[in-house]
Amino acid sequence: MSRDRRNKSRALEARLGHVFADKSLLDLALSHPSALTGTQSPALFSNQRLEFLGDRVLGLAVAEWLLREYPKADEGELAVRYNALVRKEACAAVAERVGLGAHLALGPGEERAGGRQKAAILADACEAVIAALYLDGGLEAATRFIAAEWAHFVATPTQLRNDAKTALQEWTQARGRGVPVYKEIGRSGPDHAPVFEVQIEVKGLPAETGSGSSKRQAEQAAARAMLIRESVWTEND
């Protein structure tokens, strides 16, 4: 390993808060399938398997944190919060903040295509790094990194909040209320600036309405109104 690469590796370890006993784990976590050559198997020589494990480790750490921080929350509320925190967008944002893109091993084609800035690649690498931390330093090393980096989202949860329709569906399904049904009940205004009104119905709950300049916006407004009314979200969400 060159001195420059060694220094970059040390800098990344410092950012991750862990010095790897097995450096190959970190190298594997940063190896995108596009970097493979010849007959190398993606399953063995890229970060795909580590990504699978890291997703589960992240889920466990976040679920445990939510149970501890929200002792009175029911399953539905926990599910909404959980899904907002383990989404690929969260992993990509963490990877970008940590600077994983600069350390990735990419193939020439992916390099030219801007792979170091692609959210999907960054998210996968972040999950793989979490797995590498877990395998090298145990759950403590992984949860220490997650606690440090996900605290940002916990402090500002709306940055990673699911869209209202997705959040509402997760909440209703977790409570056995099925899938929300949206109906367009009105349209006003000129053709170039229409206003749509939508009603949302959920089993066992009063209907709610919302309006917007498109049908989708109206559906989102109705879903958000119901989430606020049922105390799943607040006015600030």
Which positions make up the binding site for Mg(2+)? 51, 124, 127
Question: At 30, is the secondary structure helix, strand, or coil?
Answer: coil
Residue 33: phi, psi to the nearest 5? -55, -30
β-pair partners for 181: 201
Query: CA 16 to CA 28: how far, in whole Å?
Result: 15
Q: Out of 4, 22, 27, 55, pick the active-site residue.
A: 55
Say which residues have a Cβ less than 8 Å from residue 12's Cβ, sequence separation at least 6.
Answer: 26, 98, 99, 100, 103
**Whether 201 is catalytic:** no
Q: Find, among 101, 153, 103, 106, the residue nearest to 122 by Cα.
A: 101
Q: Do residues 32 and 115 make contact, with C-beta atoms less than 8 angstroms apart?
A: yes
Query: CA 84 to CA 159: how far, in whole Å?
Result: 9
**Widest Cα–Cα separation across the chain:** 67
**Whether 27 is catalytic:** no
DSSP category for residue 189: S
Known binding-site positions: 51, 124, 127
Q: Out of 22, 75, 110, 127, pick the active-site residue.
A: 127
Going through 108-237 in order, the beta strands assigned E by DSSP cover: 181-188, 195-201, 208-212
State both tokens at 14: 């410092």
* Residues with active-site annotation: 55, 127
